[in-house]
Amino acid sequence: MLASVIFVTFTIAVCAYFIFTPTSGKVPSGTQLPDGPSGKPIIDNLLDIPPRHSWFKFPQWSKQYGPLFRLDIAGRNHIVVSTEEIANDLLRERGTIYSDREQLPMAAKLLSDNLRPLFLPYGGTWRNVRKLMHKLTNISVATTYETLQEEESLRTFERYSAGLILRLAYSKPVYTGEDSFVKGHSLSCTQWKEESALEHILRTRFLLCCTALLFGSVQA
């Protein structure tokens, strides 16, 4: 009975895989793909790639199938380029043709709302984002961020000291600098500095008064 249930479940899973697997990643009909090692059903060449030091296997395949060969991994076609000349020709000289990337609906749309540059398809939006990132992070502009970096580093030290004290004393973790305990710690430090400065002024005035009285009595 159990064996029958397992067999039926496995059969349904395999059928569902072939039915619901998207066809957008499949090559158009009539396209001739490069040669490559033949794989096993469903997993294709997944087990043919060594889990360790896999780069030693790719030169062997390139000698057998040519400098441009194909691997099928769980229904996905992967083209392997094994020479620098072909890589420069395809990815640099004709990079606009191959600059797009595979779409990941879960990561790009559902989790990132198409706002994460890593998952954007090549196009106008991607070029605008890249231009903006280059404008904000180039060397000439990065030097103007020193003041901001110093301010943020000081805030990091404040959060660290407050978080460490609270963790050791009360076992309370602090995750952000906006925590009420961190703000209270910063406020107390500021008040302590102001009170210390006021005490220093009062102490100095007291010493000056005592000095004036002392020298005044000596002169008299």
Residue bearing the bigger pLDDT, 58 or 175:
58
In whole angstroms, give the CA distance from residue 86 to residue 188. Answer: 64
pLDDT tens digits, one per residue of 41-85: 777 888 888 888 888 889 999 999 999 998 888 778 888 998 999
Determine phi and psi for 174, rounding to 5 degrees. -120, 125
Confidence at residue 203, expressed as pLDDT on a 0 to 100 scale? 58
- pTM here is 0.46
Largest CA distance in the chain: 117
Confidence at residue 23, expressed as pLDDT on a 0 to 100 scale? 46
The closest alpha carbon to 80, from 39, 116, 34, belongs to 34
- Residue 219 confidence (pLDDT) above 50: no
Q: What is the mean pLDDT of the chain?
A: 75
The answer to whether 100 and 119 have CB atoms below 8 angstroms apart is: no
In whole angstroms, give the CA distance from residue 117 to residue 133. Answer: 10
Q: Which two tokens stand for residue 30?
A: 């009539």
Residue 79 DSSP SS3: strand
- Residue 10 confidence (pLDDT) above 80: no
Confidence at residue 220, expressed as pLDDT on a 0 to 100 scale? 44
Confidence at residue 217, expressed as pLDDT on a 0 to 100 scale? 47
The amino acid sitting at 62 is S
- Residue 198 confidence (pLDDT) above 80: no
Q: What's the DSSP call for residue 8? A: H
Q: What number of other Cβ atoms are within 10 A of residue 43's Cβ? A: 13
Q: Give the containing element (helix H, strand E) for 142.
A: helix 139-142
Confidence at residue 218, expressed as pLDDT on a 0 to 100 scale? 41
